[in-house]
Amino acid sequence: MFRYVANRLLLAIPTLIGVAVITFFVLRVLPGDIVEAKLRGDGTTVTADVIERERARLGLDKPRSEQFVDWMKGLARLDLGNSMWTGRPVIEEVGARFEITFQIALMATLIGCFIAIPLGTLAALHRGTWIDTAVRVFAVAGLAVPSFWLGMLIILAMLWSIGTLPPLTFTPIWQNPAANLWQLIWPALAVGYRFAAVLTRIVRSSLLEVLGEDYIRTARAKGVIESVIVRRHALRNALLPAVTVIGLEFAFLLGGLVVTEQVFSLNGLGKLFVQSVARHDFTLIQGMVMLFATFYIVTNLVIDLVYAALDPRVRYQ
Amino acid sequence: MTDTTLRPAKRSSWLRNPVVDFCIKQPAGMVALLVLLVMMFAGVFAEYIAPYDPVRNNLASMLQPPSWKHLLGTDPFGRDILSRIIYGARTALIIGLSSAFVGCTIGAIIGAASAYFGGKIDNAIQRCIDLMLSFPLIVLALVVVAVLGRWLVFGIDINLILAIAIPIIPQVARVIRSSALVIRNLPYVDAARIAGYSNTRIVLRHMIPNLMAPYLIMLTAYIAQAILLEAVLSFLGLGVAEPVPAWGLMLSGSASDFFEEAPWIVIFPGLAISLAVFAFNLLGDALRDWLDPKFKS
């Protein structure tokens, strides 16, 4: 297993280098640069001299090839550089906001699983009945409702029913769990619905497939109670494809929370990303894209490991 | 006598019409199709259907609740929401259809080529696809929009279409490749090869028609995704620009300041997005069940 993990991580390096090269050069096509946005943003007149000096300070006056080599050298040392806007290290900027986004993503995943697994099972067991249809409508609707709009509706419902909004300042969970959950459960619900919708469909179709297998017929012939068949024989195998989807959707959420954070005015990774794109903060965008890509690759690896642990038929190769 | 033998033949030929067959076998798909037809009708004939000008501000009728005069109310600029939703259908359809078409077609060509050539070319293409997939969809779209800027042709932002199409390409390419790999190894392709047909003919006449089913299913599904992504980008202020009426745009900006006192400015555009995406998803599902022989009963 160690060899397998090492191998996979080595294979990730060319992909990450590719991501780095593409991001770097695609960003340099952006019209305008951060210095103009930063210094002229508020309408004040700045002399060309000041702009040149700021550019030199950020290293933007160097030729692109040199900037690229500098950045890649930093990456090799796992140093993502400093934000061009605030001057703080990218890692610090991201770290300050990672917690909030990560927690929402995790909560949304849990909500998704808690809704999807029972619903998908129910639909599969009652295939073709009104229950199946109802679950199908629930799932297709979940894919259709934009999560930022659902977030707005949740806020609206809160205003109408209890007259208050979720708090705007973030409290870490170890300081005050109740306040923390009360703030983050709403965005997690808004995103969790979509998550549940995707997962319900997978659970249903995969359970239906498994229920048609020979070993289920064997179990029935042996006289095993139906509930045991479903729980022990069918669901265990049917949840395998669900693991893949849970992992992929979770990785997607880290970047996919962009709009929902906006609606709930949360200062998470999504907001930071939109902000840095608007500010042309190249190093911050590059750093975040690298982190998103790394996270995606690592999640994929973890999914495969979990898969292998759950299913003895899967072998490392 | 001749009458009775002719009539059933006539009826069955009418029943064999694919659209009729689809509607009978997939009632949910038929409902979706009807919703989409209404939406397309609204989009195409917006000028004749919309009761008000969707763009002109009218400060005398600001933030009015739904009434007979303004069926869905008005926004903070006094513009009729129903009219803006009707015109918004045009924007959503143009951008959704064209970006899904561009993304799916390029993706399908790449996927089929990758499967057909195999070997090193296939490997290289798969690496590129892995690379593109490791960017989150919305992050990729955001960067593309920022980099390309706006490029308006007849009032349509071509670069926005590209920004939505590009993240679709690798996903479609992957699915089409796996379908194409299966088809490539089927006996009838071997038979065609033994019969001495050229590669081009085998790909065009034997493989492509059998890839149409997954292509169509993915196309309808990605139209839904594209409409959703367009709404998200417009909501963030990076998609369709004011004053063009677009559903995502109607939810952004001042909408969040007023939606406590005027919830209709938020509720109806969101419903329009949901309904459109819902209908395309449902149509995609129904098409899959209808086209996939495994599900035919």
Query: Contact at 8 Å (CB) between A74 and A160?
Result: no
pLDDT digits (tens, 9 = 90+) for B52-65: 777 777 777 777 77
Kindly state whether residue B15 falls inside one of the protein's structural domains.
no
Confidence band, pLDDT 50/70/90 cuts, at residue A116 = very high
Kindly state whether residue B67 falls inside one of the protein's structural domains.
no
Q: What is the ipTM of this complex?
A: 0.80
Report d(CA A220, CA B249) in Å as an integer.
Answer: 56
In chain A, residues with a C-beta closer than 8 Å to the C-beta of B135 are 19, 289, 292-293
Report d(CA A314, CA A308) in Å as an integer.
Answer: 5
pLDDT of residue A55: 72
In chain A, residues with a C-beta closer than 8 Å to the C-beta of B277 are 143-146
Kindly state whether residue B117 falls inside one of the protein's structural domains.
yes
pLDDT digits (tens, 9 = 90+) for B93-128: 999 999 999 999 999 888 888 887 778 888 888 888
Kindly state whether residue B3 falls inside one of the protein's structural domains.
no
Residue of chain A nearest B132, judged by CA positions:
A19
Its domain, for residue B271, covers: 26-50+73-295
For residue A244, what is the enclosing H or E element?
helix A236-256
Residue of chain B nearest A164, judged by CA positions:
B260
pLDDT digits (tens, 9 = 90+) for B160-174: 888 889 888 998 998
> Average pLDDT over chain A, rounded to whole?
82
Distances (CA, A) of B230 to B120, B172, B280: 36, 18, 15
Those residues of chain A whose CB sits closer than 8 Å to some CB in chain B are: 14-15, 18-19, 22-23, 26-27, 29-31, 140-141, 143-146, 148-149, 152-153, 156, 159, 251-252, 254-256, 258-259, 262-263, 273-274, 277-278, 285, 288-289, 292-293, 296-297
User: Nearest CA to CA, how far is B120 from chain A (Å)?
Assistant: 17
Report d(CA A166, CA B267) in Å as an integer.
Answer: 20
Lowest mean pLDDT among A81-85, B221-225, B285-289: A81-85
Q: What's the average model confidence in pLDDT over A51-58? A: 73
Query: Contact at 8 Å (CB) between A117 and A133?
Result: no
pLDDT of residue B77: 73
Kindly state whether residue B13 falls inside one of the protein's structural domains.
no
Q: Which of A143, A148, A252 sits opposite B235 (nearest CB)?
A: A148
Kindly state whether residue B16 falls inside one of the protein's structural domains.
no
Q: How many domains does chain B have?
A: 1
User: Residue A155 pLDDT > 60, yes or no?
Assistant: yes
pLDDT digits (tens, 9 = 90+) for A187-245: 899 999 988 998 998 899 889 888 888 888 898 898 888 888 888 888 888 888 888 88
Kindly state whether residue B259 falls inside one of the protein's structural domains.
yes
Over pLDDT 90: what percentage of chain B? 8
CATH at B200: 1.10.3720.10
pLDDT of residue B297: 38
Of residues A31 and A144, the one with the higher pLDDT is A144
User: Residue A26 pLDDT > 50, yes or no?
Assistant: yes
Confidence band, pLDDT 50/70/90 cuts, at residue B143 = confident
In chain B, residues with a C-beta closer than 8 Å to the C-beta of A27 are 143, 147
> Average pLDDT over chain B, rounded to whole?
80
Kindly state whether residue B32 falls inside one of the protein's structural domains.
yes
User: Per the CB < 8 Å rule, is A22 touching B130?
Assistant: no
